[in-house]
Structure 1
C-alpha cells in the first residue's frame, strides 16, 4: 500500500445564492483539506489558490479507493460557519493515473496524414469520365453560395450546389450536444462541474450550486529523496484574466421534431435567450404552424464569465389569448467552452478566407491560435520559415506542400503562413466549425424529449480585440418566376376509344400543372377524332411560382383554413407534370400518359418526333458520361423547344404512350411584366402569337363531305370485300354484255343482210345506163322540149332525190285493191 497523492484543482464555486465568504472542505476518510475562503464571491467566485495536494494511505486499486466528500461552508458574521452544499464522489476510478508505469505514455499530438497521389489520380479519372452529365454546365456558370449551402453539403439534404470548392468550406453537424461528443471529453478537460446539494442527494433533490474543479490520483514514493512524479496540472489560464468580459454570439438555426402545442397538432414557436440578467427574443417573431421551424437568427450579447456563464435557450409556443406555453429549454455552460483546451469557444473553419461568403470569423489568425495551443500543451512556439513555406512544430518540420499538393482553386484564401497554421490546427483534434443538436426538456415533463434545436455559440474575449463580422444565417427568400409552357402538338398517342365504324380513335386533350400547385391545373382544348394519335393545340400554360434557387425548391405559403391566422409554408421540388387524356362524354375520361419534368434536371428534348424515346427519361448514373442523355436546368437555359415522351405504367414497367412537342420558357417576375402573355389563346396573345389550329366540328363532318367520310369509314374495315365485289361486278358485267351481243352477232354472220341491200343498187345502176343510151340515139325526144337543153345530171335529179323514187322505177306500181 503506497501513499497515493490526490492532486486537486479547485477553480471556483458557481450559482450559490445568499453566501458571503464560502470555502471548500475536502474530506476523505480521516483526512481533510480546506481552501482559503473566497472573500468577494459576488465579483470573483474563483479560489485564490488553484491546486491542492492531499496525501493519505489507501489501496492503489481503483476499485477499493475511498470516496471523496466535498462540502461548501459559508463564513458569516461573528465566526459562524454554515454548510450550504455538498457533493459526494463515490468512485475515483476515472481519476487514477500512474506516471511511474512502464507503458505510461504522455498525451501526444495526432499524426499528420500524408497525401496519397495514387488515390487522387484515380479520383480525378473517375470524376472526368464517370460523372454526371451536368458537371460541365455547373462549372461553367458561377453559383451563389452562402452559409446554408455549407449546411446542405454537410447534411446531404439537398444535392444542389455541385460547387467545385465545397471541400474547402466543410461544416460538421453533430447529432448531439457538443459536450456529448466523446472526442471532446464533455469540454471538461480543464475542470469538471460537480453539483452541490443541501443534503444527501436524491432523485428530486434541488441543486443549490456548483463546484468547478478536477482530481488526479497517483502513487507517491515513500522515500523523500526519490524523484517526484510529474504534476498533472501544469498549466492553466491566468487567474488575472477572470472574470473576463466576452462577446457571445448565439446562432439558432432551426428546431426539429417539436412537441405539438396547438389543437391542429402544430405549434407557433419563438426563441428566448437568457444569460444572467439579460433576456433577448421577440414573441412577435414566431414561426407559425410548424414542428420543424427554421429560425436563422443570431443573438449577440455581452457577459462576464464566470459571473454569467449559463446560457439558457427557451422555446415557447405563441398563443393569442392564453399565456404562451413553454415547449422546452437547454442550458450551455459558457465557462467550460472558454476554458476547454479543445478550442470550443469558436470552431475552426476549414479554410482561412479573408473575404467572401465564408470569411474567417475568429478574432485572431490561425498562427496565433497555433502558438496559444502550443503554450497550453507545454511545447515551444512554432517557427515559421517563409522561404520554403514550412513550420517547425513539436520537433517536426511541416511543409505547406504536404497539405496542398496542388495550388488551391478556392477564392479569397489568405496567405500561406496562415493556411499552413490552420492545417496544423486541424491535426490537433480541436473543435471544427460545427452545428450541435441540443435536446429540449421541460420542467413539467422532466426527462422527456420535447424536441431538438440546432445551433452553435461563438465566444470572443474582448481583450483579444473586436471579432469578425457575424455569419449571415437568415433564411433564404424565394424569388418569383413565371413558367410558360406552349403545347404545340402530339404524336403516336395511344388510341383508347372506338368509333361507330368500329375503329380506334381518341379525342385528345392535355392537362398541366406544377407539383404542389394542383389548384392551378390548366387544360387545353380537345382535338377530336384523332385516328393516328396526332393532335394540334397551339395552347399556352402559364404558372407562377416562388422558387428558391439555392435549395432548388418551390415555396408555397397558404392558410390551411379560412379561420387560420397565419399561413403555413411548404416546400416542394419544381416539377412540371403533363398528362394526356382521352375525352369521353358518357364515361370517365381515359388516361393516356404522363410526363414529369424536373425543371432543375430535365432531359434535353428531341428535335424530331422520330428521335424521341423513353430512354431520354432514364436517370441511371451508372452509365458513362458519353452514353448518358444530356440533361440541363431550365433556370439556366431559360427556353427550350422539342419533343418529350409520355409514359404509362403497365405490368410494373414504363412504356411509351405518346409524344408531346412543347416550348418551355422560364422568366423572372420583371421579365414577365415586360413580356406579358395570356393563357391558352387569350389576350395578350404574343411572345409568340398562337393561332387556333384547323379543327373540324365532329357533328358537321358528315354533312361537309359525306362521300369522303363514308369512304374513310368503310374503306379500312371492308376494303378487301369492296375490292372483291368490284372485281366480280366487272367480270359479271363483261359476261352479261357478251351474252347480250352474241345473238345479233351470230345473226349478222349467218344471214348476211348486206347482200340484199346491195342488189337493187346494181339494177338501178343498169337502168340509168340504158336511159342514157336511148336519149343519145333518139332525136325526136330532144325536139319535144323547146328551150335550152338540160344537162345530163338534171335527168338523174328526180331519181337521186330520195330512196322512194328509184324503188318505184324498179318495181311497177301495183293496182289499188278494190273497195
Structure 2
C-alpha cells in the first residue's frame, strides 16, 4: 500500500455528488483549496427516510489512477438541519441593570494580598479547599471554573465541533464507528448544513452558509499545556502506589523529564507548564501521558488522553484561550490573551454578523445590539481592586462574557490505556492555551509551580514543671518522681529531644532551663508543614508534642502527662501556675473556650500550660509546665543563633543550670 499524497473528497447524497479539487501535498497542507460546496438534493420530509451522506476519499495518482483510500457514511441527518439564516450564536444578554461581575465585595490591603495570594489560591478557592486558599475570596480577584469532565463533554460547547466535525474514515466496507476499530485509516474534518430552498424557482435564494471562514492555510501556533494534578491513579508498585511523571507529545516533539517523577503517590500534584510551537492542522493531536518511573524495569504507561487542537482553535466558542472574569493588567490574574477584550468583541460580532459595539469616549458606556450598558452597573456589587485595567476593556469583557464563550477553566480528563480500552485509569486536571502566531505574542504564562515551603525554626525552652504526678516512693516512704521532659513536632519523631533529669522531686516540681530547637519546612499559604517518609512528602498542620516522664533505672519509664499544642491555634498561656487549668485546652469551637492565637503571628509566648493524662476516657490534669515558645524564620535563626539544651551557642537567651535541691543521683546497680 502506498501512502496517500494527493487526496480528494467525493460527497454523495440522494443520487447527487460533488467532488473537491485534490489536495496538492498532504504533508505540507492537509486542507482543501476550496472549502465550501453547495449541493441541491431532493430529500424526504421525514428524517427517518432520508438517505445517508456518503463520503469517499480518493488518492489522485499517476496515469489517472484514483483508488478509494477511505470512506464513511453519515446516517443521521437531523443534526445538520437548520433554518436558512440560522448561523452563529446569539449573545445571551443580561437583563437591564443586572450586574455580571463575580467580584467579591471585600478587598485586602496590597501587602497582605501579595503575601497570601497566588494561582494556587485561586485553584483551591474554586475546588472548595478554603483552608489552602487563604484570603483569596476576600481579594475580589477572578474565580476559576472547574469542569469535572473534558471540555469537549460540556454540553453547551457542542463537543467543540460546531465549526468542523470529525468523521472517521474506514478502509473497505463502511462499518459502524468504534474507537478501537482496526479499519480506521484516517479522518475527514468538515460540516454539513441542510436547509430548504424555496419551491418557487424565481424566489431569491436564502443566504449562503459558512460566510466567515478562517484562512485554509496551516497556522503556526504556540501551545501552552498546564498540567495541574492527577488523582485516582491505579497502583503500579508493590507498595500499592506509583511514581508518576508527565510526558507531552505533539507531532514529533516530546517534553517531560522522567527524573521529575513524584514518588509514592496516587494523587500527584504536578504544577507544570509545557510550551510547544506547532503548525495546525499538521500537528493537531496533543497527547498527554502519565508514566510510572521504575529504576530497573522499563517505565510502565499509566494512561493517556488526546486533545484535538484544531477543533479548539476553530470553534466559535473560542476554546483556544478561556475568558477570565475581569480585565487585569497585573497580579495573579493578568490578561494572557493576544487580543484585547475590545478586539475580541469586534471579532465575535463580525463572525456572527452583528453590529459592532459603540463605546463612549470615557469607555464606561457601550451600545451593543440596540442596548446600552454601563460599567458602573455591571460592577456595582464589587469594590474594584488595584489590578483592573481601563474601563473600556473591562466593559468589553463583560459583554464578551454574555456571548457563551469558553471561560477561564480547568478541565478534568479521563486517562485510558490501549491494553484496557474504555477502562478509567485515573483523572488528570489541566487546561490548554493556543496562540496563533499571526495575532502577535501572547501575554505572560500563569505561574503554576507548586508552592515551595519556607524554613522555620521553633524554639521551646522548658523552664519548670509543677504539680506533676508522683509515681515512686523514696527510702523514707515519701512519694516522688525523677522528672524529665521530651518533645518533638508531630511527624518528625526522629528529631525527638529531651531534657536532663530532675531527681527526687517530692512536690511534682522540676527545674530544667533547657532548650529544644526544631527546624522544619512550612507552607504559610496552606498552613501545613512538610515531613518525609522515605521519598514520600507528607503535609500536616504543625503540632508540638511535649511529654513529661518519670525516669526509672530498673524498669520502663513512667508516663506522667502530655501537652499537644497546634502552632496555628495555641491557647494563650497562664501567667501563674494557679491559673493553669484544663479549661485552657477546651475545643476552640466552644464559645466558652480559652483565647487562642497563631504562633506564626504572635511569634513568642511564655507562661504555664497544663499537661494531661487519659483516665477512664476522660482527661485529667496531671501537671503544669512553664514554657517559652518562639517561632523564627530561617534568616532570623541565623541572626540570633541558639544551641540545644544548654550547648553553645548558649544565647538568645542564655540558659544557666537551675538551682535544685542537693539530692544525690541514684547509682546504677
**Helix, strand or coil: the match of 2:120?**
helix
2:406 corresponds in structure 1 to 431
Distance 1:658 1:110 in 2: 69
2:542 corresponds in structure 1 to 574
Structure 2 counterparts to residues 699-718 of structure 1, below 5 A: none
Q: Which of 13, 16, 19 is equivalent to 1:34? A: 19
Distance 1:245 1:461 in 2: 6
Matched, 1:223 2:200: yes
Distance 1:141 1:500 in 2: 65
1:70 to partner: Cα distance: 1.9
Distance 1:373 1:618 in 2: 60
Distance 1:585 1:37 in 2: 95
1:66 corresponds in structure 2 to 51
Structure 2 counterparts to residues 605-620 of structure 1, below 5 A: 605-618=573-586, 620=588
1:114 to partner: Cα distance: 7.6
**Helix, strand or coil: the match of 1:413?**
coil
Q: Deviations over 1:273-310 (max 9, x none)?
A: 22223233333443344433333332222211111111
Structure 2 counterparts to residues 307-386 of structure 1, below 5 A: 307-386=282-361
Q: Which of 152, 155, 159 is equivalent to 2:131? A: 159
Distance 2:616 2:503 in 1: 29
1:205 corresponds in structure 2 to 182
Check the 8 A contact 2:140/2:382 in 1, yes or no: no
- The TM-score with structure 1 as length reference comes to 0.72
Distance 1:496 1:394 in 2: 86
Distance 1:140 1:146, change over 3 A: closer
Check the 8 A contact 1:146/1:358 in 2, yes or no: no
**Helix, strand or coil: the match of 1:427?**
coil
Distance 1:487 1:634 in 2: 17
Matched, 1:471 2:453: no
Distance 1:635 1:286 in 2: 32
2:30 corresponds in structure 1 to 45
Distance 1:213 1:621 in 2: 61
Matched, 1:79 2:64: yes
**Helix, strand or coil: the match of 1:186?**
helix
- The TM-score with structure 2 as length reference comes to 0.87
Distance 1:108 1:285 in 2: 46
Q: Deviations over 1:521-571 (max 9, x none)?
A: 12233445656554433221111112222332222346x3xxxxxx33333
1:679 to partner: Cα distance: 1.8
Distance 2:569 2:371 in 1: 50
Distance 2:616 2:317 in 1: 59
Structure 2 counterparts to residues 548-627 of structure 1, below 5 A: 548-557=523-532, 560=534, 567-583=535-551, 588-618=556-586, 620=588, 623=591
Check the 8 A contact 1:17/1:208 in 2, yes or no: no
1:460 corresponds in structure 2 to 435
Q: Which of 620, 634, 638 is equivalent to 2:599? A: 634
State the structure with bigger RCO (CA 8 A, min sep 6), 1 or 2. Answer: 2
1:84 to partner: Cα distance: 1.1
Matched, 1:416 2:416: no
2:641 corresponds in structure 1 to 676
Distance 1:595 1:369, change over 3 A: farther
1:59 to partner: Cα distance: 4.1
Distance 1:575 1:158, change over 3 A: farther
1:92 corresponds in structure 2 to 77
**Helix, strand or coil: the match of 2:193?**
strand
Check the 8 A contact 1:513/1:520 in 2, yes or no: yes
1:614 to partner: Cα distance: 4.4
Distance 1:403 1:650 in 2: 62
Distance 1:450 1:529, change over 3 A: same
Check the 8 A contact 1:158/1:551 in 2, yes or no: no
Q: Which of 86, 91, 103 is equivalent to 1:109? A: 91
Q: Deviations over 1:390-425 (max 9, x none)?
A: 111222211111222267352222111112222222
Distance 1:136 1:179, change over 3 A: closer
1:454 to partner: Cα distance: 2.6
Check the 8 A contact 2:163/2:314 in 1, yes or no: yes
- Number of residue pairs the alignment of both structures matches: 658
**Helix, strand or coil: the match of 1:303?**
strand
**Helix, strand or coil: the match of 2:122?**
helix
Check the 8 A contact 2:92/2:404 in 1, yes or no: yes
**Helix, strand or coil: the match of 1:81?**
coil
2:164 corresponds in structure 1 to 191
1:338 to partner: Cα distance: 0.6
Check the 8 A contact 1:514/1:574 in 2, yes or no: yes
Distance 1:90 1:593 in 2: 78
Gaps of 5+ in 2: none
Gaps of 5+ in 1: 1-15, 128-134, 561-566, 702-819
**Helix, strand or coil: the match of 1:84?**
strand
Distance 2:347 2:541 in 1: 48
Distance 2:221 2:538 in 1: 39
Check the 8 A contact 1:85/1:208 in 2, yes or no: yes
Q: Deviations over 1:661-689 (max 9, x none)?
A: 32111223333233222222333322112
1:346 to partner: Cα distance: 1.1
Q: Identify, as 1 or 2, the structure richer in helix.
A: 1
Check the 8 A contact 2:284/2:309 in 1, yes or no: yes
Distance 1:227 1:497 in 2: 110
Distance 2:443 2:87 in 1: 39
Distance 2:445 2:363 in 1: 35
Deviates more, 1:681-690 or 1:338-347: 681-690
1:787 corresponds in structure 2 to none
2:142 corresponds in structure 1 to 169
Check the 8 A contact 2:454/2:521 in 1, yes or no: yes
Distance 1:359 1:137 in 2: 18
